[in-house]
C-alpha cells in the first residue's frame, strides 16, 4: 500500500509540472502589448494613396487576395500591342488569372510607384482618375531579371466616400 501511495504522490507532483511545461513554449516570441493597430503595411483603400500602397503590397508579397479586393467586378485592363498595332483589353477574370500566374512564376517583384502625373476626382468623391509612373523589377531567377519603367492610368470608383476605392480600368501607357 505504501508503494501505491508513493507512486500516486509522484504522479500528483509530476503531472502538474508536465502540464505547465507542455503549455509553455520557451522559443515562442512574447505578445507585443504595445502594437500600434493603426499602423499596417496594408493601406487604407478608402484613400487613393492606400490603393497604390495595396497594389505594391500585393506585388511584393504576391498576394492575390489583397489584389483581388482592389479590382472591380467590371474591371478592364488596356494596353497597346505595338508589334501588332492593336489595343488589347481583358476583364477581371483574365486579370486575376494573369496576376496569379505572374505571382506564382517569379521569385520576386519590386514595384515602386513614382510621382502622380495627374489626379482628378468628381465632386462627390466617387470616381477618380490617376496617372502615375512606376518602376517594376521582375525577378524570375538571379540570372533572369526584367526591369520595366512605365506609366499607368487607373480609373477608380466607389459607391460613396466612406467605401474603398476599386479599380475599374487600368490603362498601361508604357512604350515597351
At 144-165, the pLDDT tens digits run 999 999 999 999 999 998 999 9
pLDDT at 19: 54
- 174 to each of 46, 90, 128, 170, how far by Cα in Å? 27, 17, 20, 12
Give residue 11's pLDDT: 67
> Is the pLDDT assigned to residue 16 strictly greater than 70?
no
CATH number of 48-172: 3.10.450.50
User: pLDDT averaged over the chain?
Assistant: 87
| pLDDT > 80? residue 7 | no
Model pLDDT for residues 34-56, shown as the tens digit of each residue: 655 455 668 899 999 999 999 99
Non-local CB neighbours of 86 within 8 Å, separated by 6+ positions: 80
Nearest to 109 by CA among 143, 151, 146: 146
Cell digits of residue 95:
486579370
pLDDT in tens, 73-119: 999 999 999 889 999 999 999 999 999 999 999 999 999 999 999 99
pLDDT above 80 for 29: no
124, 161 contact by CB (below 8 A): yes
| CA dist., res. 77 & res. 160, Å (int) | 23
* Cell numbers linked to 132: 502615375
Q: Among 24-28, 53-57, 79-83, 121-125, whose mean pLDDT is lowest?
A: 24-28
Amino acid at each position: 500500500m505504501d508503494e501505491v501511495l508513493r507512486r500516486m504522490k509522484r504522479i500528483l507532483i509530476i503531472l502538474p509540472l508536465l502540464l505547465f511545461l507542455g503549455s509553455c513554449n520557451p522559443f515562442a516570441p512574447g505578445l507585443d502589448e504595445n502594437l500600434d493597430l493603426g499602423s499596417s503595411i496594408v493601406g487604407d483603400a478608402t484613400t487613393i494613396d492606400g490603393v497604390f500602397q495595396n497594389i505594391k503590397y500585393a506585388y511584393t508579397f504576391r498576394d492575390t487576395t489583397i489584389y483581388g479586393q482592389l479590382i472591380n467586378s467590371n474591371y478592364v485592363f488596356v494596353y497597346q500591342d505595338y508589334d501588332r498595332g492593336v489595343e488589347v483589353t481583358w476583364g477581371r477574370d483574365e486579370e486575376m488569372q494573369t496576376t496569379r500566374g505572374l505571382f506564382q512564376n517569379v521569385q520576386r517583384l519590386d514595384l515602386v510607384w513614382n510621382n502622380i502625373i495627374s489626379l482628378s476626382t468628381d465632386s462627390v468623391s466617387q470616381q477618380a482618375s490617376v496617372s502615375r509612373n512606376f518602376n517594376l523589377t521582375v525577378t524570375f531567377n538571379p540570372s533572369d531579371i526584367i526591369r520595366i519603367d512605365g506609366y499607368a492610368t487607373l480609373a477608380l470608383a466607389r459607391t460613396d466616400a466612406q467605401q474603398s476605392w476599386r479599380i475599374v480600368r487600368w490603362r498601361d501607357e508604357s512604350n515597351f
